[in-house]
Chain A
């Protein structure tokens, strides 16, 4: 079966008929895009692997509910993005309970923890991941709020239109524009700061 000539919808249709090669074709087309987004969101390759796997498994098992009027890539990214955000939300809660004042043994320890967090805004794993991803632009992207980051990555790395980004992130178009504009402005400031 020659898949190169088929568009996503046709490949999905074949997958729905139970062709394993069609699933593999979809993976070949989207494993890098999806993994790239997720790993830049969570800044942890092994966690990103889990989340990206989860996204594909979930999408494949839900192929029957995919509406071909939408772009397959938007639908897939929406699933991946939702999983990632759920994870970040959960992590945020955990982080609060770990780093919160009550769990700190002494006031000295408390101060040290809070300084470390304020200093870089990164957990140690994130710090490592940022260095691994390398490059100042990667570091700067890692410092953006998650919603700015998602919007900018979808727009610029994946080349989605503003409408598609709005569809994937499930926010109004105007909000997407705000995210992207503010995100870019922050990136510019970060980079100017580093250069100075």
Chain B
């Protein structure tokens, strides 16, 4: 069953990256094994261990990619409902433990700590087994029994089972090769998970076996009765002729290609689009509010700057251009504008800003698909 490769899967970059730089701590020089990365993804490493590993991940793209894969594989864990085996199991365990002493013992090894460790270890492993049991229960609902954690693993004595999301990615061929190999290895020795995978395979097969359904006979005729073929041809022909339209379509496609794809993207784009206007408004406002500055002064100042830059950059060409009637007329218009009362100018700029903001909003609302149908769809609960 090889579905198309899921683009969200991180590329398998094993070995492609340069070795990480040598860092001061010796533990960072070797790559952590998959076991540890898997534990990191599941959030099961002690804080100190996790920190050391994160330091390595900082400099090592290869391990980062693998971690991403594990995260993907384990991603759906959090959304699964958890059911404790007995309501007060954890409470009964914890009643026998002085948590604070165990915690301190774990941080600072000392004679006392070692003593406490003797007490703490069974508790931690009991809790870890409890976690695993919960998961297994969730994940192997068909068999009802949790596969014995540790029965099917090597040195570490613990194993993690496949999540529904992981199994689905696996069956669709969406996993990176390294992770896929690990999954294969796990399946080879975990009857619980291979049973689950078999169940999922059946579901995939059943869905894919769904037949297409034919409409009642004569469907095509009924459609064609309603289609005005000549009108379509006419409209299309008209649309295809003008060069300007085609150029316009090109531009639109170009814009479409660079347009933001996410809500956040649109917000940023909208903000950027509106920013210059707000900037101008700010400048205008400061001019209006400042008793020392006036618009004519400011325009003359800019005129000087523009001609200075033009002179420096283009010399004759730009100077000639500057003397053309068009530029002169533009300049006149701007000067005329400067004669207008400042409040009117401010209002004009505010209006422009509002228009830009509204435009951004409209674009945002129209181009971003509203979250598809039925936010309030009644879900029959089984």
A contact residues vs B (CB 8 Å cutoff):
15-20, 23-24, 27-28, 31-33, 35-36, 39-40, 45, 48-49, 52-53, 56-57, 60-61, 63-65, 67, 69, 85, 88-89, 92, 117-118, 120-122, 133, 137-138, 141, 143, 145-147, 152-153, 155-157, 161-163, 169-174, 177, 180-181, 184-185, 187-193
User: Which residues of chain A are within 8 angstroms of B262 by Cβ–Cβ distance?
Assistant: 172
Bound CA span A60–B7, Å? 32
Q: How far is the CB of B170 from chain A (nearest CB, A)?
A: 12
Bound CA span A33–B214, Å? 8
Contact of A173 among B8, B141, B229, B239 (CB under 8 A): B8
User: Which residues of chain A are within 8 angstroms of B219 by Cβ–Cβ distance?
Assistant: 27, 31, 35, 49, 52-53
In the complex, the answer to whether B372 meets A170 with C-beta atoms within 8 Å is: yes
Give B120-146 as 1s and 0s: 1 = Cβ < 8 Å from A's Cβ atoms: 000000000000000000000110000
In the complex, the answer to whether A137 meets B382 with C-beta atoms within 8 Å is: no
The yes or no answer to B232 lying at the interface (CB within 8 A) is: yes
Question: Which of the 9-residue segments B35-43, B201-209, B289-297 touches chain A?
Answer: B201-209
Give B361-381 as 1s and 0s: 1 = Cβ < 8 Å from A's Cβ atoms: 000000001011110111110
Which of B4, B232, B371 has the most chain A CB atoms inside 10 A of its CB?
A: B232
Question: Which of the 9-residue segments B94-102, B148-156, B220-228, B337-345 touches chain A?
Answer: B220-228
Contact of A181 with B76 at beta-carbon distance under 8 Å, contacts A27-B223, A53-B219, A147-B372 already known: yes
User: Which residues of chain B are within 8 angstroms of A63 by Cβ–Cβ distance?
Assistant: 232, 236
User: Which residues of chain B are within 8 angstroms of A141 by Cβ–Cβ distance?
Assistant: 207, 210
Contact of A64 with B236 at beta-carbon distance under 8 Å, contacts A35-B219, A57-B223, A192-B141 already known: yes
User: Which residues of chain A are within 8 angstroms of B204 by Cβ–Cβ distance?
Assistant: 156, 184
Question: A16-B233, A16-B237, A32-B215 given. 15 additional CB < 8 A pairs?
Answer: A17-B233, A18-B233, A19-B229, A31-B220, A32-B212, A32-B214, A49-B219, A60-B232, A63-B232, A147-B374, A161-B4, A171-B371, A181-B164, A184-B207, A188-B200
What are 28 A-B pairs with beta-carbon distances under 8 A?
A16-B236, A35-B213, A35-B219, A36-B212, A53-B222, A53-B223, A57-B223, A60-B232, A61-B227, A61-B228, A64-B236, A64-B239, A85-B372, A88-B374, A89-B373, A120-B380, A137-B207, A137-B210, A145-B379, A146-B377, A157-B207, A162-B4, A169-B369, A172-B261, A173-B8, A184-B204, A188-B203, A189-B382
The yes or no answer to B6 lying at the interface (CB within 8 A) is: yes
- Chain B interface size, under 10 / 10 to 19 / 20 to 34 / 35 or more: 35 or more
Contact of B213 among A24, A32, A185 (CB under 8 A): A32
Contact of A170 with B377 at beta-carbon distance under 8 Å, contacts A56-B223, A162-B6, A177-B8 already known: no
Bound CA span A16–B204, Å? 39
Q: How far is the CB of B279 from chain A (nearest CB, A)?
A: 32
The yes or no answer to B88 lying at the interface (CB within 8 A) is: no
The yes or no answer to B32 lying at the interface (CB within 8 A) is: no
In the complex, the answer to whether A152 meets B223 with C-beta atoms within 8 Å is: no
In the complex, the answer to whether A173 meets B7 with C-beta atoms within 8 Å is: yes
In the complex, the answer to whether B213 meets A39 with C-beta atoms within 8 Å is: yes
User: Which residues of chain A are within 8 angstroms of B234 by Cβ–Cβ distance?
Assistant: 18
Considering only residues 1-27 of chain B, those with a C-beta below 8 Å from chain A are: 3-4, 6-8
User: Which residues of chain A are within 8 angstroms of B271 by Cβ–Cβ distance?
Assistant: none
Which chain A residue shows the least CB distance to B206? A137
In the complex, the answer to whether A147 meets B373 with C-beta atoms within 8 Å is: yes
Q: How far is the CB of A155 from chain B (nearest CB, A)?
A: 8
B contact residues vs A (CB 8 Å cutoff):
3-4, 6-8, 76, 141-142, 164-165, 168, 199-200, 203-204, 206-216, 219-220, 222-224, 226-237, 239-240, 253, 261-262, 369, 371-374, 376-380, 382
Contact of A57 with B226 at beta-carbon distance under 8 Å, contacts A31-B220, A64-B235, A137-B206 already known: yes
Which chain A residue shows the least CB distance to B220? A27
Bound CA span A39–B211, Å? 12
Do most interface residues of chain A lie in helix, strand or loop, or is the interface mixed? helix
Which of B6, B229, B376 has the most chain A CB atoms inside 10 A of its CB?
A: B229
Bound CA span A35–B206, Å? 20
User: Which residues of chain B are within 8 angstroms of A147 by Cβ–Cβ distance?
Assistant: 372-374
Bound CA span A181–B253, Å? 32
Q: How far is the CB of B220 from chain A (nearest CB, A)?
A: 4
User: Which residues of chain A are within 8 angstroms of B220 by Cβ–Cβ distance?
Assistant: 24, 27-28, 31
Q: How far is the CB of A28 from chain B (nearest CB, A)?
A: 7
Contact of A57 with B227 at beta-carbon distance under 8 Å, contacts A31-B215, A49-B215 already known: yes
Bound CA span A181–B382, Å? 18
Which chain A residue shows the least CB distance to B235? A64
User: Which residues of chain A are within 8 angstroms of B227 by Cβ–Cβ distance?
Assistant: 23, 56-57, 60-61
Q: How far is the CB of B251 from chain A (nearest CB, A)?
A: 14
In the complex, the answer to whether B212 meets A33 with C-beta atoms within 8 Å is: yes
Contact of A170 with B369 at beta-carbon distance under 8 Å, contacts A31-B215, A52-B215, A53-B223 already known: yes
User: Which residues of chain B are within 8 angstroms of A28 by Cβ–Cβ distance?
Assistant: 220
